[in-house]
Amino acid sequence: MTAVTDDPAIAADFGVLGLPSIPDPSPAYRQAETLQAVADHYTRLAGDGAAASRRAALNQGPAADAADRHVDGPGGVLPQTSGLAGHFGLVAGLHNSAAQFVQHGKTRLAAYAAAAAALALAVPQVRAWVRARALRLYQQFRTILAKFGDLYRRLLARMAPGTARTGGGVPAVRAGAERTTALSARKGHAGHLQPPGPLERDLPLPRPADLRFERDDQGLIVAVNGRPVREFVGDLTLTRSSEYLARREAARDLAFSRAKAGPVYTLLMDRRTGKLYEGLNDMLRRVPDDLHPLLRERYDKFARWARRNGTFRHDEGWPPGDFPHWSEPGTHSEVTATSKALWDRTRNGETATTGTLREFHFDNRLLSEHYQGITARQRIPCCANCTNFLYDTPNSVGYFTRYPSAGQSPLTEFTPPWAA
């Protein structure tokens, strides 16, 4: 157990109350990074397997059928790998949530300890009463952490058979993740199309060939099946986000859980090609390696501006952050969906520009029960970080520019200071 803070005065306050100090969350953050690397490794394997399966589908004959069953059939390599990616990503999300809870608890308990210890020193007669109340609060904190531990044990029990089937267990997977990360770095973060979301496994998005489009003079889609793009995308976003919530409540697949799928669902249409893309807040704590270079460039400019103008105040009781929103920029659902669409354009030989972004349209829906005055299935605007990525991308939700955003009306137009 390490000190609750580097401030010796606060550490002494805990000593006065006779309480043990609170764990340092840094190791949990580091473990979450490792677990997320493992999940990313399996996700890349799943993406490679899906590509191989699509290529194999072009062939015919017994050998092709056998290969397809081995890769994509029940118990095959692809569903096993996809499942393990979801499991490891879920554990990484839980690790991250636990670390954030510890960090938040440290801040609150440190302040309480300082005030309570000061009272106990000033009025020695109440020291026993103060210590009893502080100890009760501390025990509540430890009880919640114990529940996190129970979740870890149950998840690891579920993951063990899968890692055994794929061979090698966690150490081998970690080594594979490290090799994959090193290879990505050598290739200069060479991008690849991120794998489909869990809902697409058995409820695919509509294909352009199945839709009827009306286009304007520039060739951009303005209506789908006789309905305006905004209306079509909005209704489909609502339908699919509702399906995510239904499967989450059924609790049959961890890929739909709060810790893995996260709190927001995005659906984006490329109004040039007619393709649709999904994105989820999958609780990443770092910028994805496969973020499209156009968005990566915006991240770099945004980060330089934030370093010059930070730090930024967030909720009361939380420490200041390096960006306007407390999350890691580039990890939210609308940025993920946009990155997928940009990679598709790039793979077809096109050079993606800011003009490309103006040919998209996206919608967001909340997958949590409530957040900043918004409830489940309602539209949720871009957070103050995502706004700096997608300020010129058409959408149905608008932009927030600060956090907390409760009480703030979303903007329909915004130009970041670094882009002016």
Helix, coil or strand: residue 362: strand
Return the pLDDT at 1. Answer: 36
> What are the residue ranges in the chain where pLDDT is below 70?
1-194, 250-261, 282-285, 316-318
Return the pLDDT at 237. Answer: 96
Return the pLDDT at 209. Answer: 95
Identify whether the C-beta of residue 145 lies closer than 8 Å to the C-beta of residue 28: no
Q: Name every residue whose Cβ is closer than 8 Å to that of residue 142 and which is 6 or more positions away in sequence.
A: none
172-175, long-range: CB within 8 Å, 24+ apart, which pairs?
Answer: 173/38, 173/41, 173/42, 173/84, 173/88, 174/34, 174/37, 174/38
Return the pLDDT at 277. Answer: 96
The residue written with tokens 């999940």 in the block is 39
The string of DSSP letters for 333-353 reads: HHHHHHHHHHHHHHHTT----
Identify whether the C-beta of residue 240 lies closer than 8 Å to the C-beta of residue 261: no
* CB atoms near residue 160 (< 10 Å): 12
Return the pLDDT at 313. Answer: 84
Strands in 97-233 per DSSP E: 213-215, 221-224, 227-228
Return the pLDDT at 166. Answer: 47
Q: How high does pLDDT run on average in the chain?
A: 74
Rg (C-alpha) for the chain, rounded Å, is 24
- Look at phi and psi of residue 203 and say left if phi exceeds 0, alpha if psi is from -120 to 50, else beta: beta
Return the pLDDT at 71. Answer: 59
35-84 pLDDT tens trace: 666 666 666 666 666 556 555 555 556 665 666 666 556 556 666 666 66
Return the pLDDT at 88. Answer: 64
Return the pLDDT at 333. Answer: 92
E strand or H helix at 39: helix 26-56
